[in-house]
Amino acid sequence: MKAVLKKYWGFDDFLPLQEEAIKCVLSGRDSIVVLPTGGGKSLCFQAPAMAMDGLAIVVSPLISLMKDQVDALSECGVAAVRIDSTLTGREKSETFSRIRRGEVKIVYLSPERIMTEGFTEFLRDTPLSFIAIDEAHCISHWGHDFRPEYRQLGRLKRCFPGVALHSYTATATEPVRKDIALQLGLKNPEVLVGSFDRPNLIYRACRRTSRLKQVCRVLDKHPGDSGIVYCIRRRDVDDLCAALRERGYRAVPYHAGMTAGDRKQNQDDFIAEKIDIIVATIAFGMGIDKSNVRYVIHTGMPKSLEHYQQESGRAGRDGLDAECHLFYSGGDYAVWKSLIGDLEPEVHAIALEKLSRMYDYCTGITCRHKALLEYFGQTLEGNNCGACDACLDELSLIEGSLVIARKILSCVVRLRERFGGDYTAQVLTGSQDKRILQNSHDRLSTYGLLSEFSRNVVRGWIEQLVSQGYIRKSEDYGVLKVPPAGWRVMKGEETPRLLKPPEKKARAAVSRAIKDSWEGVDRGLFEALRELRSGIAAKKGLPAYIVFGDAALRDMARRRPSTRAGFLQVTGVGEKKCRRYGDDFLELIKDYCVSHGLEVE
């Protein structure tokens, strides 16, 4: 298998859990494999398909995802095809003929197509090596992207007895994994769960103050890089995208209110790097296999940590450093709560719990990597991830947090635990709001106790106390209550952690991920290689990352190879790509080194 990996994909070794997942496929044992985005789950079924007799079937939910995967496999020399509605009758006929002649190793298709009676009969006459189901969480009601059409895949075991089923997903909690096994009728499946940690991602979360300014600050750190900006509502997408374009950023929108043709064009332009930024609702992303997304920005809170893990995980799929910024507000909670209000009672309860956990993450002030891992039932090794705002000391704690916390808790008590966070913050900051005056709350002893701070700062502290368990919110209207932990603070027995009011920092710390991924890389050569890659991709009509990923280009700029043998040692350079592109890249590396007085390998 290592020889296959090197020949077609140019990798020397497996990523964590890939070897175990591949052994399941080779042995014919059903499996459920959970690997984070960027963890290499596709290779878990693509690589063994090349070493086994017969045809491998891959069920995938989106045409764009199938196309990208097949294009990438073809570039590596793998005989892969797709069968979908975009193919002409002639193209479909030729594809079926190639399958009958045994010329194809992997075929991608949708869950609807594989279960049609005619196609099932066709496959019964075709020797199959195995069936892989990608994005398998879509089959579960507990999953965050449930798709009814996936339910029919439960008939696969009856249609193809003796053929092993392997399911793959990037985000699946234990209830989802159990449901996948149940719905697919898997027989004693091997369940392999990789670490959900993405150490190359740098997580930051802060309260939204000015959407446009905060987004632009991130964009200006990444000129020319590919990035995704998520908004909750369509109108926010349109407004933000228009504002960005007015300021000269190469951005396009993407949401369900656009025509299918416009959405496809914008997505294709993003993949082809004709534009840098796509501003989108969560309708965008599942079909994106773009490896060199350097940042993902959420301008509003996602509705669950599963969604956030998957959406933010679209950054840095090449294993290089990437940034994930989350700008949230208390209003986001109310928006999502309204949107999920019509769900069935059982599903609504699950969605509400997920929403609350997401809000806790936003307002929390502990390690982001640790918080995400704990949600998925895992633990972080060490005490400092070196790749989030908390561990990079970007979150400054205020001195005297016990005094501030006691003032806030006292106010909640004096308001008889009948009001929410916004109202409480107004009382504490001495607001002259009409409702406060009518309720005579301007006469409370806690009125104006924190008037030297802004209402947003005090509101943030309230949420931080909530996330640490010192204040509880009622489920109905978000009314604040003081639980036993809060009374311990009131007695001085526990001290909460509260953030300093925001202030400009002279210089942010550099994450470990950024340092490691640029170690030894000649940045000038990297940019020259990137330009060459773009030109080749444009001529071939391919996304640039399919020619070579950023990780391969950085390794070229680090090694500076001068021969084909040296070029084959570069991460991500397989035999076919070496034959196809080696001369052009080696010539550029040589010319660059000569002109800059550098040695080559």
Q: Which helix (H) or strand (E) holds 241?
A: helix 234-246
pLDDT of residue 489: 95
The DSSP letter of residue 6 is I
Q: Could you tell me which residues come within 8 angstroms of residue 400 by beta carbon, excluding any fewer than 6 positions away?
A: none
Other CB atoms within a 10 A radius of the CB of residue 213 amount to: 8
pLDDT of residue 22: 96
Confidence at 384, pLDDT banded by 50, 70, 90: confident
Residue with tokens 């942010």: 508
Confidence at 506, pLDDT banded by 50, 70, 90: very low
Q: Where would I find the H helices in 185-233?
A: 211-219
Q: Over the stretch 326-381, which tens digit does the pLDDT of each residue have?
A: 999 878 888 888 888 887 887 788 888 888 889 889 888 888 999 999 888 888 88
Q: With 70 as the cut, is the pLDDT of residue 509 above it?
A: no
Domains in the chain with CATH codes = 2-193 (3.40.50.300), 201-375 (3.40.50.300), 401-490 (1.10.10.10), 518-596 (1.10.150.80)
- Please check whether residue 34 is in contact with residue 177, taking contact to mean a CB–CB distance below 8 angstroms: yes
Q: With 60 as the cut, is the pLDDT of residue 52 above it?
A: yes
% pLDDT > 90, the chain? 54
pLDDT of residue 502: 64
Distances (CA, A) of 18 to 27, 59, 177, 441, 601: 14, 19, 18, 61, 31
Q: With 90 as the cut, is the pLDDT of residue 490 above it?
A: yes
- Please check whether residue 494 is in contact with residue 478, taking contact to mean a CB–CB distance below 8 angstroms: no
- The mean per-residue pLDDT over the stretch 30-43 comes to 88
Q: Over the stretch 422-469, which tens digit does the pLDDT of each residue have?
A: 999 999 999 999 999 999 999 999 999 999 999 989 998 998 898 788
Q: Over the stretch 221-234, which tens digit does the pLDDT of each residue have?
A: 999 999 999 999 99
Structure tokens that stand for 347 in this block = 């599903």
3-state secondary structure of 406: helix
% pLDDT > 70, the chain? 95
pLDDT of residue 31: 96
pLDDT of residue 287: 58
Give the C-alpha separation, 306 to 376, whole Å. Answer: 9
Nearest residue to 483 via CA among 469, 496, 494, 497: 469
Give the C-alpha separation, 370 to 385, whole Å. Answer: 8
Nearest residue to 76 via CA among 497, 517, 419, 546: 546
Give the C-alpha separation, 403 to 416, whole Å. Answer: 20
Q: With 80 as the cut, is the pLDDT of residue 58 above it?
A: yes
Q: Over the stretch 175-209, which tens digit does the pLDDT of each residue have?
A: 889 999 999 999 999 999 988 888 999 999 988 98
Q: With 90 as the cut, is the pLDDT of residue 243 above it?
A: yes
Distances (CA, A) of 302 to 103, 299, 449: 44, 9, 34
Q: Over the stretch 91-147, which tens digit does the pLDDT of each residue have?
A: 999 999 999 999 999 999 988 888 888 888 888 889 999 999 998 888 886 655 667
Q: Could you tell me which residues come within 8 angstroms of residue 254 by beta carbon, excluding any fewer than 6 positions away?
A: 237, 263, 266, 267, 278, 279, 280, 281, 283, 284
Mean pLDDT of the chain: 89
Q: Over the stretch 275-294, which tens digit does the pLDDT of each residue have?
A: 999 999 876 765 567 889 99
Give the C-alpha separation, 516 to 320, whole Å. Answer: 9
Give the C-alpha separation, 37 to 33, whole Å. Answer: 12
Phi, psi angles (nearest 5°) of residue 114: -65, -25
Amino acid (1-letter code) at residue 254: Y
